A and B are shown apart, each in its own frame.
Chain A
Amino acid sequence: MNRKILYIEDNEQNLYLVRYLLEKSGYEVVEAKDGPAGIAAAVAERPALILLDIQLPGMDGYAVARKLREQPAVVRIPIVAVTSYAMVGDRERALEAGCTWYIEKPINPETFLSQIELHLTAGGTAS
């Protein structure tokens, strides 16, 4: 089974936090610090799931999700947006842009893994 997860995020601490949580549970984490790098990594690595931060420098998360949905090679990989609750309509916009689900910041380490796993199985095997 593919246990590779791509995390597109520019904040070092968030990267470290999520990588730590996932690696402890036996996942392999691929990191990308901006949109274009994330898209390239998705195509090259074919992860089982993509975690996508919305507040990215330059190309924002919505744009990244839309681009990913245009690539036939990765179109079936589930994307979970990591959004901020602060802005009205953020989650709706994430789903509209092509995300499969969303997790609100700050993440809860106790429930984070179960939330991820829900979409790993639901998203099917993309490899």
Chain B
Amino acid sequence: MNYLARFIASRIPPGAAARYCALLSPLVIVVLLATLSEAATRAVTVGIYENAPKVFTSDSGQPSGIFVDIIEDIAKKEGWRLRYVPGTWAEGLDRLAKGDIDLMPDVAYTAEREKIYSFHKEPVLTVWSQVYAPKGSGIQSILDLNGKRVAALEQTIQLETFRRLAASFELNITLIPVPDYKTEFEMLRAGKADAGLTNRFYGLMYARTYGLEDTPVMFDPAPFFFAASRNASRELPDVIDRRLIELKQDPQSAYYASMKRWTAEEVQLKLPSWVKVIGLALGGLVVLVLFLVIGRQHAAEAALRKEKTFAETIIDSVPGAFYVIDARGRLVRWNRYLAKLNDLHPDELTGMDSLRNIHDQDKESIARSISDAFAVGEAEAEARIRTSEGERTFLFTGRRIDAEGTPLVVGSGIEITSRKRAEQELLRYQGHLEELVERRTITLQETNVKLQREIEERSRAQSELRAALVDLADAKERAEAADRLKSAFLATMSHELRTPLNSIIGFTGILRQGLPGPLNEEQKKQMEMVQNSADHLLALINDVLDISKIEARQLQVASAPFDLRTSILRSVQTVRPLAEKKGLDLSVEVAPEIGVIMSDQRRVEQIALNLLSNAIKYTEAGSVRLTCAVHDGSILTTVEDTGIGIKNEDLRRIFTPFTQVESGLTRRYEGTGLGLSICKRLVELLGGTIRAESDVGKGSRFSFTLPIPERTS
């Protein structure tokens, strides 16, 4: 905005500038506010490609993965609106370069990419590249990939790094570029490639599914970032950095939640099917019980109706009340049963009010039934009768008859006390059963809940255990990988250093030989210095390589017959010029019994040469003497000198790597400090032992043993 104001001001005559600016300022503020509010809900476009679990599209079509979780979290805090643009990896990078999108996730930093995109500084992830292969591939190191077909994601740093790595080992590997890791793993499963490069995240997640295993070949741990378009403001990477640092400091943050989510296996909860079956069966039982209860009720009512008919027919003999009532409600006729019921002599009943002994609450309904019977011809009612034995319930029925012109109602009363009680009992029981079922259902539900909780807890414990195991295996693999990486690095380094040394040593030799023309004395002296330095460097490289092989337990020694006497004499011959130069007396004594042995000639000579050159190096005057003879059942070789000697406390650590007794700036003697530790390891591999003795100021004695070959011939 300042720029805009200044721009406008510069176009206006100086005198008018102030006035114009005053006029403009409200406008400026409005525009400024608009810009601010736009910034508050900034739209950020993010590329998406398929590289689970780092970034991918879920089954439901949602952008997912670690990078998505993190940018979503940042967007939420910053008030950004995110828009995702799916495509392949190459398309994403292309769009980012053109400025069609603002951010691309999962981009490794390179100086070349830095020219095209902007990067933030705090890595989102650090991921190792690793070689995966079908189970049982037997791939133990990168050398085992020679002559193999290796699939790798196209246009990646991973592929380029691997190409260089393979070239530096002189390996002949056919690289097959693939568009995504899924295709790669499918090819591996189908046997269309022998091995594939992927990142550990993807490998851990999918290798098992495809029947693949991780090989020990790991390389190039690379940090991964969001790359921002050059068109986007510099603010984007800065905000991402700030938020990432915050996220990484809080163990409860979305960052760690995402890591946990995408690097542990998914756990799905399911209610066991037997719980469902029992629920269903119980429901069925309830229906069945209800059905039976209702059915029985209907049957009883039918029986009752039948009995009523029977009672009407056989009046007196029936076990029930029989009566005839006139229009005024008085008893006209009755049977014995009814008299007995009323505790009266039959004669006393004549003209009795039919409602006399009816329970007060039932009087009205009986009266209505009687009048109904007169009116419509038939009626029935239940009523309680007060008797000396207590309250009894009857079902009374009545039917209108015409007796010689006088309307009467003929009826009967059947005692239903027990039935009524049973009915009530049944009802109560039914209620109880329902309650019981309900109670059981609740218990079952509680059990279900408990079970489900238990299942959840168990799977949580299981997934925690699994995560812990994965962590453990991961840590172990990481440690081993670091070791392998170190060895591989040292081997590559030593190999790469050798190439320029070839030129240095070669041309120095040519010049010193005077092949291109004669050298003056000064030039000769200087060329000799170059030669000595180069030779020293070469020795250093060889020693470092030996140590790396020893540490990686890759150093192997041969076992072949050779003449030890010849080897010893040759070693002494090799160092003789050095001894002569210092005016030392170099002598050798090989006992007559020493001859052909089974061992590694090259390594035995290396040990002898090392001890001899050490002795010469640390001896200013006097002699160096080598003896070789059978002693105590093995071949003992001893190198004695009259040099400076070694202090007692130093004797113990001279076989440790990078130890030279006088170390640091006070170092007087050239050397790597590796020679003796290599000698010790070599002697041990060859089945012998090495020891050192010394008197300070008088000299040192180094001796090593070799096993005597068993007599087979």
Give A residues with C-beta under 8 Å from B: 11, 13-14, 17, 20-21, 24, 54-55, 57, 59-61, 63, 84-88, 105-110
CB-CB under 8 A from A106, the residues of chain B are 498, 501-506, 538
CB-CB under 8 A from B545, the residues of chain A are 85-86
In the complex, what's the smallest C-beta–C-beta distance from B185 to chain A, in angstroms? 28
Q: Please give me the residue from chain A that is nearest to B541 by CB atom.
A: A86
In the complex, what's the smallest C-beta–C-beta distance from A107 to chain B, in angstroms? 6
B503 touches A86 (CB 8 A): no
B510 touches A109 (CB 8 A): yes
Select B491's contact among A20, A86, A110, beta carbons within 8 Å.
A86
* Contacts beyond the supplied A88-B556, A106-B505, A109-B513: 20 A-B pairs with Cβ under 8 Å: A17-B507, A21-B506, A21-B510, A57-B167, A61-B170, A63-B172, A84-B170, A84-B498, A85-B498, A85-B545, A86-B494, A87-B143, A87-B169, A87-B491, A106-B498, A108-B505, A109-B505, A109-B506, A110-B509, A110-B513
CB-CB under 8 A from A11, the residues of chain B are 499
Contact A88 to B554, CB < 8 A, known contacts A20-B515, A54-B170: yes
Select B495's contact among A13, A57, A84, beta carbons within 8 Å.
A84
Give B residues with C-beta under 8 Å from A: 143, 167, 169-170, 172, 491, 494-495, 498-499, 501-507, 509-510, 513, 515, 538, 542, 545, 549, 554, 556
The complex places the Cα of A20 from the Cα of B397 at a distance, in Å, of 141
| Most chain B CB within a 10 A radius of its CB, from A11, A109, A110 | A109
In the complex, what's the smallest C-beta–C-beta distance from B494 to chain A, in angstroms? 5
In the complex, what's the smallest C-beta–C-beta distance from B538 to chain A, in angstroms? 7
The complex places the Cα of A92 from the Cα of B549 at a distance, in Å, of 18
Q: Please give me the residue from chain B that is nearest to A23 by CB atom.
A: B515
The complex places the Cα of A60 from the Cα of B502 at a distance, in Å, of 19
A17 touches B506 (CB 8 A): yes
The complex places the Cα of A110 from the Cα of B510 at a distance, in Å, of 8
CB-CB under 8 A from B172, the residues of chain A are 59-60, 63
Q: Please give me the residue from chain A that is nearest to B515 by CB atom.
A: A24
B506 touches A107 (CB 8 A): yes
In the complex, what's the smallest C-beta–C-beta distance from B473 to chain A, in angstroms? 29
CB-CB under 8 A from A57, the residues of chain B are 167
The complex places the Cα of A24 from the Cα of B509 at a distance, in Å, of 13
In the complex, what's the smallest C-beta–C-beta distance from A23 to chain B, in angstroms? 10
| Most chain A CB within a 10 A radius of its CB, from B170, B507, B538, B549 | B170
The complex places the Cα of A53 from the Cα of B542 at a distance, in Å, of 20
The complex places the Cα of A14 from the Cα of B498 at a distance, in Å, of 12
Q: Please give me the residue from chain B that is nearest to A17 by CB atom.
A: B506
In the complex, what's the smallest C-beta–C-beta distance from B486 to chain A, in angstroms? 15
- Can you list 20 A-B contacts with CB-CB less than 8 angstroms, sorted by A residue number? A17-B507, A17-B510, A21-B506, A55-B170, A60-B172, A84-B170, A85-B498, A85-B545, A86-B495, A87-B491, A87-B495, A88-B549, A105-B498, A105-B502, A106-B503, A106-B538, A108-B505, A109-B505, A109-B506, A110-B513
In the complex, what's the smallest C-beta–C-beta distance from A94 to chain B, in angstroms? 11
| Most chain A CB within a 10 A radius of its CB, from B169, B515, B542 | B515
CB-CB under 8 A from B169, the residues of chain A are 87
The 7 A-B pairs at the shortest CB distance, nearest first, are namely A109-B509, A86-B495, A106-B502, A17-B506, A106-B505, A13-B503, A55-B170
B510 touches A108 (CB 8 A): no
CB-CB under 8 A from B170, the residues of chain A are 54-55, 60-61, 84, 87
CB-CB under 8 A from A17, the residues of chain B are 502-503, 506-507, 510
Select B502's contact among A14, A21, A59, A86, beta carbons within 8 Å.
A14
CB-CB under 8 A from B494, the residues of chain A are 86
| Most chain B CB within a 10 A radius of its CB, from A21, A105, A108 | A105
In the complex, what's the smallest C-beta–C-beta distance from B535 to chain A, in angstroms? 10
The complex places the Cα of A27 from the Cα of B664 at a distance, in Å, of 49
Contact A14 to B513, CB < 8 A, known contacts A55-B170, A63-B172: no
CB-CB under 8 A from A14, the residues of chain B are 502-503, 506
Contact A108 to B509, CB < 8 A, known contacts A86-B545, A87-B491: yes
In the complex, what's the smallest C-beta–C-beta distance from B171 to chain A, in angstroms? 8
Q: Please give me the residue from chain A that is nearest to B496 by CB atom.
A: A86
CB-CB under 8 A from A105, the residues of chain B are 498-499, 502
The complex places the Cα of A110 from the Cα of B515 at a distance, in Å, of 11
CB-CB under 8 A from B554, the residues of chain A are 88
CB-CB under 8 A from A54, the residues of chain B are 170
